[in-house]
Structure 1
Amino acid sequence: MLKSIILASQSPRRRELMLLLNIPFSSENPQIEEELDPSLPLVKAIEKIAIDKALDVFQHHPKSIVIGSDTVVVIDDVILGKPIDNEDAIRMLDLLSGKTHKVITGVCMISDKEKVVFHSISKVTFYPLTDAMIKSYVASNLPLDKAGAYGIQDRGALFIKSISGDYYTIMGLPIAEVSRRLRLMDGGS
């Protein structure tokens, strides 16, 4: 029998992706500092935030399966998290304009029997963006809660020339891999 599943996130995009699994779940906001540990390799630091999110919620729900994740955008060795304000969003989009960047999502799935940690990397290439395009998008407030200051599922899609890798990694949760590993955690059902 499937345990209750809790998404350790209040992200509307991650909740939307979890709905694709067609199984009941709830979501809870983890109370952690989302700061990358500079002493770790980048992928491990992203996975650590996903682990911390999952563990924070799991300690209150030890009979559940808890899923935590974290996403960052990387361009030219510069890490882009969520912008702190409109000016930061403009700076990020200007950096991404006309270039290819990586989107890395780390995931931790934890139950009372096991902890599964993995990551997924996708590459995204932007068309060159004009200042007017960037300012119009930022004025919509759409980029303010997204790593790299854009959403592939909203008007940010208009900036994208190509992607390589998992689309849902870019949205913040590689849902096919989560589904596969969730079935394995639940005894293969």
Structure 2
Amino acid sequence: MASERDLPRVILASASSRRHELLSHILSNFEVQTADIDETPKSDELPAALVGRLAKSKALAIWHKNPDAIVIGADTIVTLGHEIFGKPKSQNDSIAILKKLSEKRHTVMTGVAIISASKNLSKVVKTEVEFACLSTKQIQNYWQTGEPQDKAGSYAIQGIGGKFVKQITGSYSNVVGLPLVETQLMLAEMGIHE
């Protein structure tokens, strides 16, 4: 059995406490470094292409500084058709986003990229989420909790925002920010088993 120091360094290229917590369910030892990249969508860039590109860009930015490590990058977006919802810019923006998602099925996509000196793996995982009918008052009250302010799509399924979710099809952890089954399979392909 390999000792801990024989295992490669693994770095999560994310500032998200939710991703950190999720990754700790499948890996006991990893570092966290934040990748500072431009997350602006390119013109006519489709949601899946955007989220895949951002995950790779985050992983590469950290891997270039740590070429001996295995780096995991991830990015999550909420989409309705081809419309992409990032983090809300204001209370009015949050209201507009959640009004659009009210009583509709939307897609949450997380791009995951894992990069090492010898391998480069990436995947985009999609989960369908259906919302109940939301009133303006409910949305305003939700904003006051502080929860939606730094969340893609202006809600957190693992928090208070979970009460808006009528149905989910696919990976729950993907909606939180890191698809666990797929990430674990990719790490196994990189030779990391726990």
TM-score, normalised by the number of residues in structure 2: 0.93
Report the CA distance between 1:21 and its aligned residue.
1.1
- Paired positions, count: 189
Deviation, 1:40, is 3.6
User: Is 1:184 aligned to 2:189, yes or no?
Assistant: yes
For residue 99 of structure 1, the aligned residue among 82, 99, 104 is 104
1:111 corresponding residue in structure 2:
116
Structure 1 match to 2:35: 30
Q: Give 1:2 deviation, angstroms.
A: 2.6
List runs of 5+ in structure 1 lacking aligned partners: none
The alignment yields a C-alpha RMSD, in angstroms, of: 1.4
Partner of 1:87: 92
Q: Is the 2:131–2:165 contact (alpha carbons within 8 Å) kept by the matching residues of 1?
A: yes
- Which secondary structure does the structure 2 equivalent of 1:59 belong to? helix
- Do structure 1's residue 64 and structure 2's residue 69 form an aligned pair? yes
Percent pairwise identity: 35
Give how far 1:42 is off.
2.6
Once the two structures are overlaid, the 10-residue window that deviates more, 95-104 or 30-39, is 30-39
Runs of 4+ in 1 over 4 A off after TM superposition: none
Contact 1:72 1:148 in 2 (8 A): yes
Listed as ranges, the matches of 1:152-167 within 5 Å are 152-167=157-172
Structure 1 residues 62, 75: CA separation in 2 closer, same or farther (over 3 Å shift)?
same
CA spacing shift, 1:44–1:20, aligned 2, 3 Å = same
- Contact persistence 1:36–1:49 (CA under 8 A): no
Instruction: Provide closer, same or farther for how the CA distance between residues 68 and 187 of structure 1 changes in structure 2, counting only shifts above 3 A.
Output: closer
Once residues 93 and 31 of structure 1 are traced to their aligned partners in structure 2, the CA distance between those partners, rounded to angstroms, is: 28
What code does the residue aligned with 1:9 have?
A: S
- Check the 8 A contact 1:36/1:46 in 2, yes or no: no
Q: Distance in 1 between matches of 2:129 and 2:16?
A: 21
